[in-house]
Structures are given as C-alpha cells and as structure tokens.
Homo-oligomer: A and B are copies of this chain.
Amino acid sequence: MADSLDTHQAQGSARPADDPEQAPDFSGWTCPAPLRDNQRVVMGHGGGGVLSAELVEHLFAPAFGSEVLAELGDSATVTLGGARLAFSTDSFVVRPLFFPGGSIGDLAVNGTVNDLAMVGARPAYLSCGFILEEGVELSVVGRVAEALGAAAKEAGVTVATGDTKVVDAGHGDGIFINTAGIGLIPEGVDIRPQRAAPGDVVIASGAIGVHGVAIMSVREGLEFGVEIESDTAALSGLVESMLGATRDLHVLRDPTRGGVATTLNEIASASGVGIRVNERNLPVPDAVANACAFLGLDPLYVANEGKLIAFVPPEHADAVLAAMRAHPHGKEAVAIGTCTTEHPGMVVADTGLGGSRVVDVPLGEQLPRIC
C-alpha cells in the first residue's frame, strides 16, 4: 500500500496539507480581541494568568457563545433532570510524569475532583481521556493508570467512561490526560467567585507553594536540603466538613496555576471587592521560601494542588476554621486576610515590614506545565 501511495503522492493535489500552518488561508481572520501582538500561541496562554484569561474571554467564549462558560468558575453549574450538577474539565500535561509526592495520574483525579468541590459539589463520576505518544512504555502507562485508579478510590469517585488516542512519536509527550467530572450540589449551597463580600474572612487551608516547587526541583534536578513533596490531594472531604459548619460559604477556589495571587485577583475582580492579605500570616514552609528565594519566585504565584482558599462570612469564620483544622487536609488552616470596600478589584498585601504592596495577576506563568 505504501508503494501505491507514494506513486500517487507525486501527483498530489494542492489540498490543505497536514501542517496546521498550511491549513486553509485564515489570513483574513481577525481575533475579536486584544490578544496582544502575538499571532501565535505562547506557553503563557496555558499559564492561568492574564494571557489565559484573554484567550478565554476574547477567543473561546465568543466562539462558543456560552453564557455558562463566560462565568469562568472552576466548574459550571448546570441543571439536568431536576438535579443541580457541577461539571468541570481539566487536561494534564505535567512534566515529569512522576514527581515527589505524586504523578500525572494523581493530578488528573484530584484536579477535577477539586474543581467540582470548589462549587460545593460532591464529586461522583469522572471521565478519562488518554492521549498516548507512540513508543511510550506500557509499564509507564500502567503505573499512571494505577495511580489514577488509586486516587479515584481515595477521592470516592468512579471513573465511568474513557477514551484512548495514540499520536505518532514526536507529536506528543508520553502521556497527556484529560478528565471531566460531574457531582451533585447539595441544596442551599451557592458557592461562586462572585459572592465574596466586604468583611469576609479569607482562609487558606494550609501551606502554599509546595506543588510548584516540588515539580521545579525534580525537573531541574535541584535539591533544597529537604525533599519537597507535592501536596496533590482531593479536597472534597474537607469541603464537606466545612459545609457541616455552615452552608453559607461564599467562595472556594483551589489556587493551582498562577497560585494564590491569581486566585485572589480573580475573586476580587469577579466580586468587585478589595482583598487585603497579611503577608506574615501566609503559610509558606521554610523549604518553599528558601527554594523560591533561590529561584527568584514569589510563593504567592506558585501552584498548589491540594489547597483551597475560602471566603467566609465573619460570623462563621471561627466555626469553619475549627472544622477545617479537624480534617487531615486542613490541619494548618489559617486566616490570611479580609475583604474590604477599599480598592475594589485589587489585592493588596501588608508586608512584614509595615508597608503594603499590590499583588498583581501574572501575565503568563513562572513555571510551565506544572499540571
């Protein structure tokens, strides 16, 4: 067959070829967007910062025409057959596939489970799509699948449906995974980025910056004295405990790509409140602080995969904090700031030295492909 194809290829027509850059002529296509000057995708478009947001706001949302998508939360909230459901998806392209404290299989479960939990849903079912690169060892695929299965069991979710595609060697990177998840939102729960209100107490569930530094250390072959393990974990149990203290949680968010700084900015912007953070209260472990100092990173911008930020009405803050501290994933929960009517849409940090600084949204990302 190869022979006859080769013969015929010599007579090949001028049809659109395989290279996307040689696809039908789109030179007249104008992006309904600022999207800056670049005409091509850069790594920062996947970084969870300003570039990512612009891509969604100016390219995907208009193309899809979706009001639901335009809300930009971690999960969509949809109603189907009378049930109020959370629905979310994430793709995982982390390098390396295995790192201290976890693997792409753990992230693929916990990332989507946490997105569902961040609207208060009880995660129930996951879908799972593998894109494998030709030539990757089956033993590696097997270990990743086992890690994924174990993480699903730990999180109490069922992998209900799946798909596998294979791409030619040199057109993938070992294993990419997409998961989507659905979960049921309990009655009376209304958690979304628009609900932060002046006076709300901002709570972090534990140490920040750990996942990003763990990935960075292993990828670059760095050692920081102690091994830093990823914090990847399913937070649905923690959220259930918090909902036991009050159903009136205003906002929950897991600060993954772009870190706590990006999360706080998105919420300040969505709710139209100002957020004031006390830097001295930020739970940054010494090892993370040292690694960040060494690498020139700010822990506020480093990704987390097993932590959440909660916005809680002041009258419930103590009860929620107590509930969190009683849960294994919230033992080190701490109030890190408050919402204010001042500087709406902005995040300001009181520094340890008595001054204050604006905490901005990153343009792209400090660390590519950390999830």
Q: A-side interface residues toward B, CB under 8 Å? A: 1, 4-5, 8-9, 11-13, 15-21, 23-24, 26-27, 29, 31, 35, 38-47, 52, 55-56, 59-60, 63-66, 68-69, 75-76, 78, 80-85, 87-93, 95-100, 124-125, 127-143, 145-146, 148-149, 152-153, 158-168, 170-176, 178, 180, 182-184, 217-223, 294-296, 368-369
Contact = CB atoms under 8 A, between A and B. Distances in A.
Contact of A180 (B60, B127, B174): B127
Given A83-B82, A184-B81, A95 B221 contact: no
A43 B170 CA distance: 13
13 contacts: A5-B222, A12-B220, A13-B222, A16-B218, A19-B96, A45-B132, A69-B161, A78-B160, A80-B83, A87-B125, A89-B128, A89-B161, A129-B178
Contacts of A184: 80-81
Given A23-B140, A87-B160, A98-B24, A42 B148 contact: no
A139 B96 CA distance: 30
Closest 8 CB pairs of A and B: A81-B83, A12-B221, A46-B166, A180-B180, A89-B127, A63-B145, A20-B174, A178-B178
Given A63-B142, A80-B124, A134 B43 contact: yes
A87 B182 contact: yes
Max chain B Cβ within 10 angstroms of own Cβ: one of A84, A91, A128:
A91
Contact of A135 (B18, B41, B69, B141): B41
Given A17-B96, A29-B142, A35-B138, 8 more contacts: A9-B221, A46-B164, A55-B164, A65-B149, A89-B162, A91-B165, A131-B176, A172-B172
Contacts of A145: 59-60, 63-64
Nearest to A146: B63
Contacts of A40: 134-138
B134 A42 contact: yes
Given A29-B142, A153-B65, A160 B91 contact: no
Contacts of A168: 43, 173, 368-369
A27 B127 contact: no
A161 B221 contact: no
A132 B13 CA distance: 28
Contact of A131 (B93, B97, B218): B93
A81 B82 contact: yes
A69 to B, nearest CB: 6
A370 B50 CA distance: 35
Nearest to A88: B161
Nearest to A140: B20
A368 B368 CA distance: 30
Nearest to A161: B76
A13 B100 CA distance: 13
Given A89-B163, A125-B87, A148-B63, A143 B46 contact: no
Given A26-B137, A26-B139, A166-B46, A129 B5 contact: no
Contacts of A96: 16-20, 23
B159 A69 contact: yes
A66 B124 CA distance: 13
Contacts of A91: 129-131, 163-165, 178
